[in-house]
């Protein structure tokens, strides 16, 4: 299967989104299609043997829209794109207002002067007042509305094009409503002319009061006001991505042949030696080869304290060198850097859809045709009731312009984009909107022990030996010399500290979850846990009463000794677990460590359910058992040996530095290596879903109440009729309100140092 991203042109509301998605989904070979109204793009997963990019683009064009293949390397930055759109909308708005103000003054000035109790100026009275000036009065309004139509011509071009393609959208509603008002106004001018020519002053008086040019101008101007405010608000939803993009410097100092050369980031290749001075951003991912410094990684991992780095340590693109110059070798450049991967993850999450959005999508697909039908039926109904055509027409126009599919389409994506962006700012990388939604349903949090609850850097704290201590250490360290397991690292570190030389091992075997064995100096040795010893008939008389992991060492017949290793609990683990329990989330510790160690740590942290001595491949089975018991499970692990459990869980959270395996296996990556971020992630999920539900409720409520009122539901009993201009204002503000409500998520504060519950 192939996955491609496309930029879509011409989408203005959720109906557009639904039409594009439907058109592409019909193509044979498509597996999954996601269209995002907010960012105007589409991600298509398809079988490249059945379909190609050109066919997908053509399907979008046939639906009445434009499409181009997204170029991730050369595409315009979100900041520039947003600024260009805002600038264009502002220009339209300013020119619309320049002509709308005199249009409204001309159409309504007599009402204003009467209300203020002032005489109408002579120039206005002589030129525009009375039946003898009715034609001038009407034609002047017509001339003033034309520039407004011109500056907002896109509504008509797109709206009628979509109507012709049988995929009407919001622009179609605006175009039909405004055109109806203008056409009726032109008809009224002809009637005024006819009345003046034939002495029919009743016609002149009647039609000069029902010109509707000011309604058309107001509808277009107010909707443009709403669009401008909406565009400005939508621009803020991408702040997080823009901040991430801006982290990477544009240039770097290349050290070549003893000279310093200023180069662009694009020119750097893997293996280049770069010089980074104090205060400068690190250009690409790399490894320090000379010098040392402290690095501010807060922009990537959310850590507030700078991290000390020395020769051999890795550095991340976009982080800041606080003090001390150093040379680094580039190891990852371009889209392979961690910063680029984070940006891609945040963009993908913003472009993905939460299941909760399906309701809005289903409604959006049929919304506009239904509104047009209601408008026609309402117009006919009031004509049948004996009302004038002018009355019935104003009802139809009001129905068209008050309807707002935009609010429905924006309800979910703006909240998702702001939420995932806010999470990224705090070192929480959410891969999909679906995982963000599922997280708020979690009632059970399963925690791995090593590297999750504990620091994951165990140390040898005691050696009990029947032979010389250094001899025992040589045996076990030699067996472990090719292992990268944290326990093996602790043993090798101890051997190095004691200056014990390692020897070659032959006939080496690794038994997962048990131990290792091999031949040293023509003798067979074993090292592993109690179960491994028992399986090999090695007697163990001494019980481990302390919260330590014990590696037993034996030859083929007897126990030679044991190496006791302890892994310190992280400073914030207790605080995080107490927060989880306080919020009524059940906490389970799942570990491969022995029962004594696991129970001791569980007791220390107040974890009531501890599952120990579990093999890596069995962790997934334990998670499944909890799910079968009706639990909604989040599994938190280090993303390497916990991959099966991360995948099996309803939501997998990889805690650590965001390794490739973690990003691949988990739904959410916690960059700060802190369990407090689990609390923050779940709380953020609840805040986002609550925000989406609020948005959807008000979007549905607005249309459910607004359309019947516009259709004249209150006129029969109360004599209240909605003016089309008020309808246009309400429509504009509904979208603005939805976006503004979603922007409240930017105030979300993650769990604090004292364990405060996250808030917005």
Looking at the fold, whether 218 and 102 belong to one and the same domain comes out as yes
Spatial CA neighbour of 519 closest among 503, 533, 540:
503
Question: Catalytic pick from 272, 285, 448, 650?
Answer: 448
pLDDT of residue 11: 82
pLDDT of residue 207: 80
Contacts of residue 575, defined as CB under 8 A and 6 or more positions apart, other chains included, come to 676, 755
Q: Give the dihedral of Cα atoms 592, 593, 594, 598; nearest 10 deg.
A: -110
Alpha-carbon distance values, 537 to 253, 519, 561 (Å): 62, 18, 15
- Is the pLDDT at 439 greater than 70, yes or no? yes
The per-residue pLDDT for range 167-216, each reduced to its tens digit, is: 787 788 888 888 888 888 898 899 889 988 888 888 888 888 778 888 88
Classify residue 449: in a domain, yes or no.
Answer: no
Classify residue 66: in a domain, yes or no.
Answer: yes
Looking at the fold, whether 121 and 226 belong to one and the same domain comes out as yes
- Mean pLDDT for 477-483 is 86
- Is the pLDDT at 329 greater than 90, yes or no? yes
90: left (phi over 0), alpha (psi -120 to 50) or beta: alpha
End-of-domain residue from the set 622, 656, 675: 675
End-of-domain residue from the set 623, 658, 675: 675
pLDDT of residue 303: 60
Beta strands in 158-272 (DSSP E): 251-256, 259-264
- Is the pLDDT at 234 greater than 70, yes or no? no
- Mean pLDDT for 146-163 is 89
| % of the chain surpassing 70 pLDDT | 89
- Mean pLDDT for 665-693 is 87
pLDDT of residue 238: 62
Give the CATH number for residue 622: 3.40.50.1000
Looking at the fold, whether 750 and 629 belong to one and the same domain comes out as no
The per-residue pLDDT for range 600-654, each reduced to its tens digit, is: 888 889 999 999 888 767 888 899 999 999 999 999 987 556 778 888 889 988 8
The Cα–Cα gap between 347 and 342 comes to 9
Contacts of residue 97, defined as CB under 8 A and 6 or more positions apart, other chains included, come to 221
pLDDT of residue 85: 76
Looking at the fold, whether 163 and 231 belong to one and the same domain comes out as yes
- Number of structural domains (the chain) is 6
pLDDT of residue 626: 92
Burial of 433 (0-12, 13-18, 19+ CB in 10 A): buried
Classify residue 452: in a domain, yes or no.
Answer: no
Look at strands 251-256 and 30-36 and give their pairing.
unpaired
330, 269 contact by CB (below 8 A): yes
Higher per-residue confidence, 503 vs 406: 503
- Position 415 confidence tier, pLDDT thresholds 50, 70, 90: confident
Looking at the fold, whether 434 and 580 belong to one and the same domain comes out as yes
End-of-domain residue from the set 529, 544, 566: 566
Higher per-residue confidence, 524 vs 337: 524
pLDDT of residue 75: 47
Quote the radius of gyration of the chain (alpha carbons, Å).
35
Burial of 715 (0-12, 13-18, 19+ CB in 10 A): middle
The Cα–Cα gap between 452 and 448 comes to 6
pTM over 0.75? The answer is no
Classify residue 378: in a domain, yes or no.
Answer: yes
- Is the pLDDT at 548 greater than 70, yes or no? yes
The pair of three-digit structure tokens given for residue 66, joined into one six-digit string: 């434009």
pLDDT of residue 753: 43
Higher per-residue confidence, 12 vs 221: 221
- Mean pLDDT for 390-408 is 81
pLDDT of residue 663: 57
Alpha-carbon distance values, 42 to 37, 108, 257 (Å): 9, 46, 47
Q: Hey, is 425 helix, strand or coil? A: helix
- Position 74 confidence tier, pLDDT thresholds 50, 70, 90: very low
pLDDT of residue 630: 92
- Is the pLDDT at 658 greater than 50, yes or no? no
- Mean pLDDT for 234-239 is 64
Looking at the fold, whether 561 and 651 belong to one and the same domain comes out as no
Looking at the fold, whether 14 and 149 belong to one and the same domain comes out as no
Looking at the fold, whether 588 and 439 belong to one and the same domain comes out as yes
- Position 353 confidence tier, pLDDT thresholds 50, 70, 90: low
Looking at the fold, whether 435 and 580 belong to one and the same domain comes out as yes
Looking at the fold, whether 192 and 103 belong to one and the same domain comes out as yes
Looking at the fold, whether 361 and 496 belong to one and the same domain comes out as no
CA atoms within 13 A on the CB side of 351: 22
The pair of three-digit structure tokens given for residue 70, joined into one six-digit string: 């997204």
Check if 501 is active-site.
no
pLDDT of residue 754: 44
pLDDT of residue 755: 46
Look at strands 586-590 and 609-611 and give their pairing.
parallel
Give the total residue count for the chain: 760
pLDDT of residue 383: 92
The Cα–Cα gap between 333 and 349 comes to 23
Is the Cα dihedral 601, 603, 607, 612 positive or negative? positive
The Cα–Cα gap between 543 and 523 comes to 27
The Cα–Cα gap between 10 and 159 comes to 10
Classify residue 749: in a domain, yes or no.
Answer: yes
Containing structural domain, residue 165:
79-237
The Cα–Cα gap between 695 and 701 comes to 10
- Is the pLDDT at 69 greater than 70, yes or no? yes
Mean pLDDT, the chain, integer: 83
Is the Cα dihedral 636, 641, 644, 645 positive or negative? negative
pLDDT of residue 560: 92
pLDDT of residue 145: 93
Classify residue 242: in a domain, yes or no.
Answer: no
- Is the pLDDT at 587 greater than 90, yes or no? yes
Give the CATH number for residue 524: 3.40.1110.10
User: What strands lie across the sheet with 444-448, from one edge to the other?
Assistant: 428-430, 668-670, 651-655, 633-637, 444-448, 586-590, 609-611
Classify residue 590: in a domain, yes or no.
Answer: yes
- Is the pLDDT at 588 greater than 90, yes or no? yes
Q: Give the dihedral of Cα atoms 722, 725, 730, 736; nearest 10 deg.
A: 180
- Is the pLDDT at 723 greater than 50, yes or no? yes
Looking at the fold, whether 327 and 270 belong to one and the same domain comes out as yes
Classify residue 450: in a domain, yes or no.
Answer: no
């Amino acid at each position: 299967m192939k996955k491609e991203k496309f930029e879509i042109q011409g989408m203005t509301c959720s109906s557009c989104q639904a039409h594009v998605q439907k058109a592409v989904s019909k193509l044979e070979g498509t597996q999954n299609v996601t269209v995002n109204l907010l960012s105007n793009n589409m991600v298509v997963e398809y079988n490249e043997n059945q379909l190609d990019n050109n066919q997908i683009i053509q399907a979008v064009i046939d639906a009445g829209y434009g499409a181009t293949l997204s170029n991730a390397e050369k595409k315009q930055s979100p900041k520039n794109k947003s600024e260009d759109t805002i600038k264009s909308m502002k220009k339209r708005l300013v020119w619309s207002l320049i002509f709308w103000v005199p249009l409204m003054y001309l159409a309504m000035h007599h009402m204003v002067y009467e209300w203020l109790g002032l005489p109408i100026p002579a120039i206005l009275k002589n030129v525009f007042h009375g039946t003898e000036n009715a034609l001038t009065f009407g034609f002047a309004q017509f001339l003033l509305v034309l520039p407004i139509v011109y500056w907002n011509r896109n509504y008509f071009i797109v709206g009628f094009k979509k109507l012709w393609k049988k995929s009407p959208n919001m622009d179609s509603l605006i175009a039909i409503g405004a055109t109806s008002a203008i056409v009726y106004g032109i008809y009224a001018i002809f009637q005024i002319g006819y009345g003046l020519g034939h002495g029919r002053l009743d016609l002149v008086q009647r039609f000069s009061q029902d010109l509707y040019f000011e309604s058309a101008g107001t509808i277009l101007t107010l909707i443009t006001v709403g669009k401008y405010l909406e565009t400005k608000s939508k621009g803020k939803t991408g702040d997080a991505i823009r901040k991430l993009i801006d982290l990477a410097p544009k240039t770097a100092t290349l050290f070549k042949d003893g000279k310093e050369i200023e180069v662009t980031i694009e020119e750097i290749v893997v293996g280049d030696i770069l010089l980074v001075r104090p205060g400068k951003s690190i250009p690409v991912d790399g490894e320090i080869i000379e010098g040392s410094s402290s690095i501010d990684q807060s922009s990537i991992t959310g850590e507030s304290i700078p991290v000390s780095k020395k020769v051999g340590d890795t550095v991340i693109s976009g982080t800041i060198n606080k003090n001390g110059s150093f040379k680094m070798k580039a190891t990852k450049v371009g889209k392979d850097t961690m910063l680029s991967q984070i940006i891609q993850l945040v963009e993908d999450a913003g472009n993905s859809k939460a299941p909760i959005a399906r309701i809005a999508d289903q409604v959006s697909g049929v919304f506009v045709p239904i509104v047009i039908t209601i408008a026609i039926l309402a117009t006919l109904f009031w004509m049948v009731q004996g009302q004038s055509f002018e009355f019935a027409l104003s009802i139809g126009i009001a129905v068209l312009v008050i309807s707002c599919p935009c609010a429905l389409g924006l309800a979910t994506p703006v909240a998702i984009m702001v939420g995932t962006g806010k999470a990224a700012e705090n070192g929480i990388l959410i891969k999909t909107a679906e995982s963000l939604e599922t997280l708020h349903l979690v009632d059970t949090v399963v925690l791995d022990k090593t590297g999750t609850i504990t620091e994951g850097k165990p140390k040898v704290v005691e050696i009990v030996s029947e032979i010389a201590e250094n001899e025992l250490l040589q045996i076990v360290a030699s067996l472990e010399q090719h292992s990268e397991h944290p326990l093996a690292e602790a043993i090798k570190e101890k051997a190095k500290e004691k200056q014990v030389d390692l020897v070659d091992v032959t006939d080496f075997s690794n038994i997962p979850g048990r131990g290792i064995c091999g031949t040293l100096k023509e003798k067979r040795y074993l090292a592993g846990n109690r179960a491994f010893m028992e399986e090999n008939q090695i007697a163990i008389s001494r019980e481990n009463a302390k919260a330590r992991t014990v590696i037993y060492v034996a030859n083929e017949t007897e126990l030679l000794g044991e190496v006791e290793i302890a892994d310190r609990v992280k400073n914030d683990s207790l605080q995080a677990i107490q927060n989880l329990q306080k919020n009524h989330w059940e906490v389970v510790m799942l570990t491969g460590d022995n029962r004594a160690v696991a129970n001791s740590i569980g007791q220390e942290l107040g974890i009531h359910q501890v599952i120990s001595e579990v093999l890596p491949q069995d962790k997934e089975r334990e998670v499944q058992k909890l799910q079968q018991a009706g639990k909604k499970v989040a599994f938190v692990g280090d993303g390497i040996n916990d991959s099966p459990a991360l995948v099996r869980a309803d939501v997998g959270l990889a805690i650590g530095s965001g390794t490739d395996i973690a990003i691949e296996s988990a739904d959410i990556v916690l960059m700060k290596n802190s369990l407090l971020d689990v609390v923050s992630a779940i709380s953020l999920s609840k805040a986002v879903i609550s925000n989406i539900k609020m948005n959807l409720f008000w979007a549905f409520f607005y249309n459910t109440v607004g359309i019947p009122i516009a259709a004249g539901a209150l006129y029969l009993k109360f004599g209240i009729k909605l003016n089309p201009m008020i309808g246009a204002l309400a429509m504009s503000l509904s979208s603005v309100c939805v976006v503004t409500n979603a922007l409240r998520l930017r105030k979300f504060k993650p769990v604090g140092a004292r364990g405060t519950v996250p808030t917005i």
